A and B are shown apart, each in its own frame.
Chain A
Amino acid sequence: MTTDHTPRLYALAASILGFFLAWAGIAAHPWQTTSSAASQSAALETYSRRLNADAALVAALAGRRKAASSVRVVTLPPLTTTRTS
């Protein structure tokens, strides 16, 4: 008496296919919308650009100071006033 293995093979193939489909589905993170992922990436990019710009500006400002002026808060009566020029 011979055993027909065909149904078993079909079942095995179907379960392997199902496993890979489920794996691909989970790996695609379907609960995270495409637009939020894209906006998160754009926000990170903007933040990174701003940090770089700030770092460059602060370095430039610091480098520009030829000589530190000697200044401090005092309680003397003022002789003149600085205001918007």
Chain B
Amino acid sequence: MIRHAFTAMGTEVELLLEAEDSSLLTEVEAEFRRLETVLSRFRSDSELAQLNEAGHGHVGPELLELIELAVEARTASCGRFDPTVHDAVVAAGYDRSFELLQDAGADPAAAPPRVGGAITIDRTTGRVALEPGFRIDLGGIAKGWAADRALAVLANAGPALVNAGGDIAATGRVWPIAVDAGDSKITLGLEDGGLATSGRDRRAWVRNGEARHHLIDPVTGMPEESDVMTVTVAAGSACEAEVLAKTLFLAGDSQRALDEAELAGIPTVLGTSTGEVLLAGGLR
């Protein structure tokens, strides 16, 4: 088995491939780096940053597809997943690449920014317009989407797995994957599909003495507060798993998240703030 790791899109990317030819791995790494130049909200020259700056404009096919997926996810999740959380995430303190975050002291009295802005998409012309006062953050969906794309390339060579900072796409064999949920030692065997984890155990920081994290409740515009620490979900693709994990994380409390996962049949591993690890959606 060939293993190849690198840093891109603000996270660690790992490629596993059961094949002799490793040339596809460098090709996939180059594609991840190219996608970062399109989708990063931290690079002022990225297509996404320029769209956010102007509020409207023509975008390339990748950004267009991803924005469409994000808008569909917002509808499907009844607004829990929302790409217009950009300003709320920045207000919470996540205003630069995560490794550069410091306690810079945001204004604690400032009202949380609104979430839920309209996004108008013209598929034929590739034009996107944002409601004034709203900007997009695709961090909640881009890595899973990129992992799915990379897997489609690697799968031509043999059984493969792509892990983009925890968002995993895999095919071709049973891939044993550890779930990082508190003290849990659970390992899931994923044969074909995606796995993703949303949580407040990482990408969390302190702002003005208060613990903050990157998962924004669209209703309040503030980081979600509940007894849920992490949610890991398996789905048909990494992109879909990422949306579902975030949707369940924002359910409000662990019991409600588990009930929803059980009713919808979504394989889920949920870690609570007290260290409990609970399974739902067919996992035993």
What 1/0 flags go to B32-46 for Cβ under 8 Å of A? 000000000000000
What 1/0 flags go to A64-76 for Cβ under 8 Å of B? 1111111111111
Q: In whole Å, how far is B232's beta carbon from the nearest beta carbon of chain A?
A: 6
Q: Is A35 interfacial (CB 8 A cutoff)? A: no
| Given A64-B240, A67-B193, A71-B188, A80-B168 contact (CB < 8 Å) | yes
Bound Cα distance A4, B160 (Å): 110
Q: In whole Å, how far is A62's beta carbon from the nearest beta carbon of chain B?
A: 4
Bound Cα distance A67, B192 (Å): 10
Q: In whole Å, how far is B237's beta carbon from the nearest beta carbon of chain A?
A: 8
Q: Considering the complex, give the chain A residue whose CB is closest to the CB of B14.
A: A80
| Contact A61–B244 (Cβ < 8 Å) | yes
| Contact B190–A69 (Cβ < 8 Å) | yes
| Contact B176–A85 (Cβ < 8 Å) | no
Q: Is A6 interfacial (CB 8 A cutoff)? A: no
Chain A residues positioned under 8 Å from B235 (CB to CB):
65, 69
Bound Cα distance A72, B256 (Å): 22
Q: Which of B172-212 contact A (CB under 8 A)?
A: 174-180, 186-203
- State the interface size on chain A (CB cutoff 8 A): 31
Chain A residues positioned under 8 Å from B241 (CB to CB):
69
| Contact A71–B178 (Cβ < 8 Å) | no
Q: Is B263 interfacial (CB 8 A cutoff)? A: yes
Q: In whole Å, how far is B185's beta carbon from the nearest beta carbon of chain A?
A: 9
Q: In whole Å, how far is B35's beta carbon from the nearest beta carbon of chain A?
A: 15
| Contact B78–A57 (Cβ < 8 Å) | yes
Q: Which of B20-28, B51-59, B116-124, B264-272 contacts A (4 or more CB under 8 A)?
A: B264-272
Chain B residues at the A interface, C-beta cutoff of 8 Å? 11, 14, 16, 75-78, 80, 143-144, 161, 163-168, 174-180, 186-203, 230, 232, 234-237, 240-244, 247, 256, 260, 263-267, 279, 283-284
